[in-house]
C-alpha cells in the first residue's frame, strides 16, 4: 500500500507542477505582455487580459501541454522573451529531475511501452540506474547518492523537494 501511495503521490506532485506552470505563464503574460505584443506585431494593444492570456498559453485547448522542461522554456521564451521567462532560473540538474518526474508519472499512469522506455532512460540518465525497478519501488527507495536533493530520504521526497524549490524560485 505504501508503494502504491508513493506512486500516486508522484502523479499528484506532477499534476501540481503542471497546474503551477500554466498559472505562472498566464500571470506572466498578463502582467508583462510587451514581448508577445511586439513579436506578434499587434498594434493598438498594451495589455492582455487574463482570459486571453490563458487561451494563448493553452493554444486554444483545454490545458497547457509541454513535453519537457526544454519544451516549457522554449514556449515561455516565445511568449515572454528570454529575459522575462521565470523558468530560466531553474538549473539544469533540477530540470532533469522534473523531466524524470514526468517520465515516472507517465509510466505509472499509462504503462505503455513508450512510457516505460522513457522511464528507464530517465532513471539511467538522472539516477544512474541501469536495471530500473517499477515506479512504486523506485519512489519508495531511499536515495544514498551524494548528489541527491534529499540524501538518505526517499526518492519521492527528493523529487517533491525539487518541485517545491522550482516553484519557489520562479
Please give the full DSSP string across the chain, using - where no structure is assigned: -HHHHHHHHHHHHHHHHHHHHHHHHHHHHHH--HHHHHHTT--S-----HHHHHHHHHTTSSS---SSHHHHHHHHHHHH-GGG-GGGGS-HHHHHHHHHHHHHHHHHHT--HHHHHHHHHHIIIII--SS---HHHHHHSB---TT-TTTTSBHHHHHHHHHHHHHHT-
60 CB neighbour count, 10 Å cutoff: 6
CA angle 12, 80, 105 (to 5 degrees): 20
CA 151 to chain centre: 22
Return the pLDDT at 157.
98
Q: Which residue has the cell 523531466?
A: 99
Return the pLDDT at 158.
98
Hey, which residues does 154 pair with through a beta bridge?
142
Closest Cα to residue 30, out of 9, 54, 7, 60? Answer: 54
Return the pLDDT at 94.
98
Low-confidence ranges of the chain (pLDDT < 50): none
Cα torsion angle, 52, 54, 58, 61, sign: negative
Return the pLDDT at 106.
97
Return the pLDDT at 39.
94
Backbone φ and ψ of 26, nearest 5°: -60, -45
Return the pLDDT at 2.
81
User: Could you state, in order of their start, the residue ranges of all structural domains in the chain?
Assistant: 14-88, 92-168
Single pTM value for the model: 0.95
Return the pLDDT at 150.
97
Q: Which residue has the cell 497546474?
A: 19
Amino acid at each position: 500500500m505504501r508503494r502504491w501511495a508513493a506512486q500516486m503521490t508522484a502523479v499528484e506532485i506532477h499534476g501540481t507542477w503542471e497546474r503551477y506552470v500554466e498559472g505562472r505563464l498566464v500571470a506572466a503574460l498578463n502582467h508583462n505582455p510587451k514581448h508577445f505584443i511586439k513579436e506578434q506585431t499587434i498594434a493598438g494593444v498594451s495589455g492582455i487580459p487574463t482570459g486571453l492570456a490563458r487561451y494563448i498559453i493553452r493554444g486554444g485547448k483545454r490545458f497547457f501541454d509541454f513535453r519537457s522542461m526544454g519544451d516549457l522554456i522554449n514556449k515561455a521564451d516565445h511568449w515572454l522573451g528570454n529575459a522575462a521567462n521565470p523558468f530560466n532560473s531553474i538549473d539544469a540538474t533540477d530540470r532533469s529531475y522534473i523531466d524524470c518526474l514526468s517520465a515516472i508519472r507517465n509510466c505509472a499512469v499509462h504503462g505503455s511501452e513508450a512510457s516505460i522506455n522513457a522511464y528507464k532512460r530517465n532513471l539511467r540518465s538522472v539516477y544512474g540506474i541501469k536495471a530500473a525497478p517499477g515506479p512504486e519501488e523506485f519512489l519508495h527507495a531511499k536515495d544514498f547518492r551524494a548528489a541527491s536533493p534529499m540524501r538518505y530520504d526517499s526518492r519521492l521526497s527528493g523529487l517533491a523537494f525539487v518541485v517545491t524549490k522550482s516553484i519557489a524560485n520562479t
